[in-house]
């Protein structure tokens, strides 16, 4: 047995194990072999609690890395040559079988973005968390929006987790919050004020061109329906006798211009909405004005859609976005005080915010909005400000 005095030691006098060494600049290295090829682990610390040299980035100690390597070898983890792109394509192929077409389309877009960058050709066993973070930062620096980067992360994270579960890698390098790395530059779609909503609706109601859309705009502002749910409504979904709206599907038009019916966004999206008197009158007017056709367009077995376009197909979300945009632009060209951005989703935000301000029970509001998580109802859509808080405090003080 060798004497400790002739064994290699580090600058602190600690005995180094086989394969360990320390460079003149203080950095530690552990060398090992895979299929006859030398590989190395590096660190500025030998043990977990060693002090990091001044000016050096935080890192795992060499012996922490050695333990991970030993665990990896003990578990028999296979070091495959699979690339990031190959892994994500495998994940998408398995996952998309059970997903809606809208989600599949999002995966396709994310994969196309991933193919452009060298990161997609990296071997999955070599990818580090810091490398992933730098990749996301590069995407943002090159002008990619937060939503696009989130979509890429949305397939990378579960794909790498699949690799962990399959014993291809030891840890998931995407296991961190995206917001901790890149700036969320998404534009918040605020609810508009009641004053602005009324200005817009009054203008539309009396405009010679846009008045034909008044009932639809009013319904969107006063039911909180998703625009795809509204577009999917058929005559059978409108129960004037019971004054309720049955929502159990949505109408989608894909980028290839093909139409399809999908289930609601979440299970909670399937619901029945009660009609107020005004909403009831709007639906009654829509049905009375609706042109009777000998041949109705049929989408996945559904027929009797409320609005049909010039091509004899059901109107979709893009139609209503454009109608609202053009109506707002016309208003702003005629009046000094401009209207804020108005979209079908702004209508949804506005309805939820108005119901919250009116004191509606949060669980009731969650049901009406079709949210699966009440946190979305409370935190995402109810844009309450100081004036709302002051009004509520004053109201409670009077009641007290």
Question: Active-site positions?
Answer: 226, 265, 345, 348, 371, 381
Give the contacts of 255 (CB within 8 A, at least 6 positions apart).
Answer: 105
Q: Which residues pair with 31 in a beta bridge?
A: 40
CA distance 344 to 260: 20
CB 269 within 8 A of CB 226: yes
Look at residue 108 and give its three-state secondary structure: helix
Segment 282-286 long-range contacts (CB within 8 Å, at least 24 positions apart): 282/215, 282/216, 282/218, 282/219, 283/215, 283/219, 283/238, 283/240, 283/245, 284/240, 285/215, 286/215, 286/216
Helix (H) or strand (E) run with residue 216 in it:
helix 214-223
Pairing mode of beta strands 244-247, 271-274: antiparallel
Q: Read off the DSSP letter of residue 37.
A: E
CA distance 370 to 188: 20
CB 200 within 8 A of CB 327: yes
Measured torsion, CA atoms of residues 360, 363, 366, 368, in degrees rounded to the nearest 10: -60
Q: Which residues pair with 38 in a beta bridge?
A: 33
CA distance 212 to 344: 16
Measured torsion, CA atoms of residues 193, 196, 197, 199, in degrees rounded to the nearest 10: 160
Q: Report the first-to-last Cα separation within the chain, whole angstroms.
A: 86
CB 153 within 8 A of CB 136: yes
CA distance 340 to 326: 13
């Amino acid at each position: 047995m060798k004497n400790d005095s002739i064994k290699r030691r580090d600058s602190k006098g600690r005995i180094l194990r086989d394969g360990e060494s320390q460079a003149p600049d203080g950095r530690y290295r552990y060398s090992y072999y895979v299929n006859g090829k030398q590989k190395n682990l590096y660190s500025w610390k030998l043990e977990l609690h060693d002090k990091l040299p001044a000016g050096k980035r935080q890192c795992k100690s060499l012996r922490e890395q050695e333990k991970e390597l030993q665990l990896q070898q003990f578990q028999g983890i296979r070091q495959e040559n699979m690339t990031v792109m190959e892994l994500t394509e495998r994940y998408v192929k398995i996952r998309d079988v059970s997903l809606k077409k809208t989600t599949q389309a999002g995966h396709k877009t994310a994969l196309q973005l991933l193919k452009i960058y060298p990161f997609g050709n990296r071997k999955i066993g070599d990818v580090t968390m810091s490398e992933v973070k730098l990749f996301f930062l590069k995407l943002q620096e090159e002008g990619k929006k937060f939503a696009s980067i989130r979509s890429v992360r949305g397939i990378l994270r579960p794909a790498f987790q699949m690799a962990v579960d399959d014993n291809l890698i030891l840890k998931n390098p995407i296991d961190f919050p995206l917001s901790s790395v890149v700036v969320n530059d998404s534009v918040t779609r605020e609810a508009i004020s009641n004053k602005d909503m009324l200005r817009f609706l009054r203008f539309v109601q009396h405009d010679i061109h846009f008045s034909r859309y008044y009932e639809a705009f009013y319904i969107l502002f006063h039911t909180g329906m998703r625009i795809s749910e509204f577009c999917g409504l058929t005559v059978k979904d409108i129960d004037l006798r019971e004054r309720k709206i049955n929502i159990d599907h949505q109408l989608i038009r894909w980028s290839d211009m093909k139409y399809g019916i999908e289930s609601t966004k979440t299970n909670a999206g399937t619901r029945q909405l009660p009609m107020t008197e005004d909403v009831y009158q709007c639906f009654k007017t829509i049905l009375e004005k609706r042109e009777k056709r000998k041949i109705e367009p049929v989408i996945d077995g559904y027929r009797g859609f409320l609005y049909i376009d010039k091509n004899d197909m059901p109107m979709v979300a893009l139609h209503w976005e454009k109608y609202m945009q053009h109506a707002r632009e016309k208003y702003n060209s005629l009046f000094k005080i401009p209207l804020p951005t108005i979209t079908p989703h702004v209508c949804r935000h506005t309805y939820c915010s108005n119901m919250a301000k009116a004191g509606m029970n949060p669980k009731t509001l969650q049901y009406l909005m079709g949210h699966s998580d009440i946190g979305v109802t409370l935190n995402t859509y109810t844009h309450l400000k100081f004036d709302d808080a002051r009004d509520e405090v004053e109201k409670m003080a009077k009641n007290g």
